[in-house]
Structure 1
Amino acid sequence: MPASTTCGFRVAGMFAGVGGLEEGFRRAGHSSSMLCEFDPAARHVLSRRFADAEISEDVRALSALPDCDVLTAGFPCQDLSQVGRRVGISGPNSGLIGSVFDLLRKKAVTPQWIVLENVPFMLSLDRGRAIRLLAQEFESMGLSWAYRTIDARSFGLPQRRRRVVVLASKAHDPRPVLLGVDEGPPAPFKRGNHACGFYWTEGNTGLGWAIDAVPPLKGGSALHIPSPPAIWFPRTGTIATPSIEDAERLQGFEPGWTDLMDFDPRAARRRWRMVGNAVSVPMAEWIATRLTAERSHFVEQDAGDLPSEGSWPGAGWGHGGRRGRSLASEWPVSRPRQHLASFLRQRPTLLSRKAAAGFLSRLVASSLRYDPKFRSDLQDHVNAFGRP
């Protein structure tokens, strides 16, 4: 175990957002020395929540990385997201990860660990160019790496949030850390009377449907407006959206984490964007805990090499001059499930008539399959408002 872990790792966070990765590391006993974030509202949150950390504004303006044991970077996903621009890793936002690699190459002593996070669509977009570029960058600096798609539900949160975590190191083998434990996905279960989350901004080609969970919280819709997911409560027929405080909790933050009243009382919409863009705190805490856990030699069933062309699978690694697939599932652990309806602490807000009617009209016109009771409750919800 590295000597520095006795008093905790020093963490430097790039694209820190509101500190999801860094808060997870703090809960595991580590501390952040420097955080870099472009959004002024998010920087305000960071300055309040990480008072001892130096706060920087633009990764492109940094002349050097501070001395640190761990470098975290949940880099922008706008160009890599399935619902984003899809221009790829060279896009104006996601391409900023290049600045991080430039800083790493200038560093005389590479951090012990590098932790990246982004959306799973990057494994297939543009034939997997993004994940290949990350692998090539790490290998050019002599680092071993591993990546894994992880679902936030693995940690008991009722949010279906799948994210790719990439872990790299020059001094350590990242495979036992990230791939060495696996619970496997739980058996699927029927809807029953469980609350179900969906995207009310969709309805043409998808629903974002999630049983006993919400779909991934998003920074905004294609219309660039805050878009908290809606929730259908079959027991009562209610169609509503969660409060921002419960959305924070769905990401693993304490309620009120992103409060901006002392920054801009009119900035409520910014909170939804910041929460939607955040990294799940329990997932980050699990990663941080794994970095200092006792680990046996990595042994995995041979799943073959990573493909030289085309998309990459949900997990893989590069070590000792070889690249390999991994059979690791999206569920490294399986913590007790928290049911969505009982997880919410605040009364949800009824979805507006305009939003519900628009979604219903798109749904009916589509070829999507859906529960007849869901449609019936949607129609009743719209009718209950009366005519506008």
Structure 2
Amino acid sequence: MRAVGLFSGIGGFEAGLAQSGITTDVMCENWEPAARVLQRRFDSDILGDIRDLPALPRCDVVTAGFPCTDLSQVGRTAGIDGAESGLIREVFRLATKRGPSWLVLENVPNLLALHQGAAIRFIVRWLEDHRWNWAYRTVDSQYFGVRQRRRRTYLVASRTEDPRTVLFADNATLAPVRPIHRAYGFYWTEGNRGLGWGEGVTPTLKGGSKLGIASPPGVWLHERSVGDAIVKPSIAAGERLQGFPSGWTDAVNREGERWKLVGNAVTVPVAEWIGSRLVDPGKSVDVERRSFDDRKSWPKAAANVRGVREAWTLSERPLKIAPRASLAAVMDKYGAVPLSIGATTGFATRLKASRLQSRAGFIQALDAHIDAFRKA
């Protein structure tokens, strides 16, 4: 099978598909640092602005992790008509001219809720108007062997095939959370209304600011000595948390740009799972399904095949994949840097002033980290 990647970023979709046996011949990416990574890591044609692409080459699969800027809870929330997320229309323009057998989209789960689900409603209505079958499902990257909690919604569509055989062919029950971990993730940029707390995982990696200021999550390594217990993952560790080899983005020099590239990427093993099911579709699992009213809310998983819309009761964990390494092991192997005194002090102040609950010993660890910096 041959693929074309739109909004390729640093090639998360493409790297995952390659591991399942699907070759991406053409990639389209407008941001120069991302294109530089693609040129180093892939033997493919790298094109620029999707708006300048006249038509798709012949292919079996088109992937598009289209911009989430206008759909994300931390973005502009302009919605599907925003200048960046609205570029999904370019995908549809190209699919109309020469559509592939399969179309695979990825975005934040907030597209199901923002403005009463206006984004997902626009997408599926276009697909239905053009007689495509579609299925979407929200899954979490932490269940694919990486130590990052990252919920994303994937949509697979086809005019001739049943996309449920791709997204709905696997469903595993959620594993119980171990009560004790060597590492806990948190957002040091928060602390007043939330923590982004992760039990043995980091919260979702983010792209950072428009100014290229990186904001990787914090990690509490409670077994380490004071001064080394409150840290941020290195960029190499961040790449591993997305399923890339360490050094994947080293064609780019600025660390802020590298974090933006990594934070915006598609998690590689999730793309590999989808690719493996495109190559070898399975039978849809037997779970509860029901009709739904999209004027009220959109479910986490749904499909429309041959004109029948249904919500499916599926977990966010399709496969039983053992973690490749603990979060603490990733930090130990690929590196971490102490959180600065300014960042730690600001976070601790907000946390103490809030009503948020945190794990026993966490605030004391923050205070000890601050004291160690002051005495240094």
The aligned amino acid for 1:49 is R
Q: For 2:369 and 2:12, how far apart are their aligned partners in 1?
A: 35
SS at 2:374 equivalent:
coil
Cα distance, 1:360 vs. partner? Answer: 0.7
Cα distance, 1:371 vs. partner? Answer: 2.1
Q: For 1:350 and 1:151, how far apart are their aligned partners in 2?
A: 28
For the structure 1 residues 222 and 203, does the alpha-carbon distance in structure 2 shift closer, same or farther, using more than 3 Å as the test?
farther
Q: For 1:106 and 1:306, how far apart are their aligned partners in 2?
A: 32
Cα distance, 1:177 vs. partner? Answer: 1.4
The aligned amino acid for 2:277 is R
Question: Which residue, 147, 151, 162 being the options, matches 1:173?
Answer: 162
SS at 1:386 equivalent:
helix
For the structure 1 residues 221 and 372, does the alpha-carbon distance in structure 2 shift closer, same or farther, using more than 3 Å as the test?
farther
SS at 2:30 equivalent:
coil
Task: Answer with 275-284 or 306-315: which moved more.
Answer: 306-315
How do 1:144-223 residues align onto structure 2 when only pairs under 5 Å count?
144-190=133-179, 192-221=180-209
Any gaps of 5 or more consecutive residues in structure 2?
none
Cα distance, 1:293 vs. partner? Answer: 1.5
* 2:214–2:255 contact (8 Å) kept in structure 1: no
Q: For 1:131 and 1:294, how far apart are their aligned partners in 2?
A: 24
* 1:20–1:279 contact (8 Å) kept in structure 2: yes
- 2:326 matched to which residue of 1? 339
* 1:16–1:36 contact (8 Å) kept in structure 2: yes
- 2:218 matched to which residue of 1? 230
- 1:357 matched to which residue of 2? 345
Residues 299-338 of structure 1: per-residue CA shift (max 9 Å, x gap): 6444211323132111110111111001111000021123
Q: For 1:204 and 1:301, how far apart are their aligned partners in 2?
A: 39
The aligned amino acid for 2:62 is L
- 1:290 matched to which residue of 2? 277
Q: TM-score, normalised by structure 2?
A: 0.95
- 2:355 matched to which residue of 1? 367
SS at 1:255 equivalent:
coil
Residues 1:245 and 2:222 are matched in the alignment: no
Cα distance, 1:188 vs. partner? Answer: 3.0
* 1:159–1:213 contact (8 Å) kept in structure 2: yes
Q: For 2:76 and 2:347, how far apart are their aligned partners in 1?
A: 23
Residues 42-88 of structure 1: per-residue CA shift (max 9 Å, x gap): 0011111112x111111111111111110000000011111111111
* 2:173–2:317 contact (8 Å) kept in structure 1: yes
Question: Which residue, 67, 72, 76 being the options, matches 1:81?
Answer: 72
* 1:198–1:229 contact (8 Å) kept in structure 2: yes
For the structure 1 residues 302 and 193, does the alpha-carbon distance in structure 2 shift closer, same or farther, using more than 3 Å as the test?
closer
Cα distance, 1:222 vs. partner? Answer: 8.6
For the structure 1 residues 372 and 71, does the alpha-carbon distance in structure 2 shift closer, same or farther, using more than 3 Å as the test?
same
For the structure 1 residues 26 and 193, does the alpha-carbon distance in structure 2 shift closer, same or farther, using more than 3 Å as the test?
closer
* 1:201–1:221 contact (8 Å) kept in structure 2: no
Q: For 2:282 and 2:336, how far apart are their aligned partners in 1?
A: 43
Residues 1:259 and 2:250 are matched in the alignment: yes
* 2:184–2:219 contact (8 Å) kept in structure 1: yes
For the structure 1 residues 178 and 380, does the alpha-carbon distance in structure 2 shift closer, same or farther, using more than 3 Å as the test?
same
- 2:368 matched to which residue of 1? 380
Q: What count of residue pairs does the alignment treat as equivalent? A: 371
- 2:45 matched to which residue of 1? 54
Q: Which runs of 4+ in 1 moved over 4 A?
A: 221-224
Q: For 1:102 and 1:381, how far apart are their aligned partners in 2?
A: 53
Q: For 2:302 and 2:142, how far apart are their aligned partners in 1?
A: 21
Q: For 2:154 and 2:142, how far apart are their aligned partners in 1?
A: 15
Q: For 1:301 and 1:50, how far apart are their aligned partners in 2?
A: 39
- 1:278 matched to which residue of 2? 265
Cα distance, 1:372 vs. partner? Answer: 3.7
- 1:13 matched to which residue of 2? 5
- 1:30 matched to which residue of 2? 22
Residues 1:330 and 2:335 are matched in the alignment: no
Question: Which residue, 270, 284, 302 being the options, matches 1:316?
Answer: 302
Q: For 2:231 and 2:320, how far apart are their aligned partners in 1?
A: 28
* 2:233–2:337 contact (8 Å) kept in structure 1: yes
* 1:83–1:222 contact (8 Å) kept in structure 2: no
The sequence identity of aligned pairs, in percent, is 45
SS at 1:164 equivalent:
strand
Cα distance, 1:11 vs. partner? Answer: 0.8
Q: For 2:287 and 2:357, how far apart are their aligned partners in 1?
A: 38
For the structure 1 residues 232 and 299, does the alpha-carbon distance in structure 2 shift closer, same or farther, using more than 3 Å as the test?
closer
* 2:143–2:320 contact (8 Å) kept in structure 1: yes
For the structure 1 residues 215 and 323, does the alpha-carbon distance in structure 2 shift closer, same or farther, using more than 3 Å as the test?
same
Q: For 2:341 and 2:158, how far apart are their aligned partners in 1?
A: 52
Cα distance, 1:221 vs. partner? Answer: 4.9
Any gaps of 5 or more consecutive residues in structure 1?
1-8
Q: For 2:353 and 2:210, how far apart are their aligned partners in 1?
A: 20
Cα distance, 1:295 vs. partner? Answer: 2.5
- 1:4 matched to which residue of 2? none
Residues 162-196 of structure 1: per-residue CA shift (max 9 Å, x gap): 11000000121011210121002112332x24300
The aligned amino acid for 1:29 is G
Q: For 2:181 and 2:310, how far apart are their aligned partners in 1?
A: 42
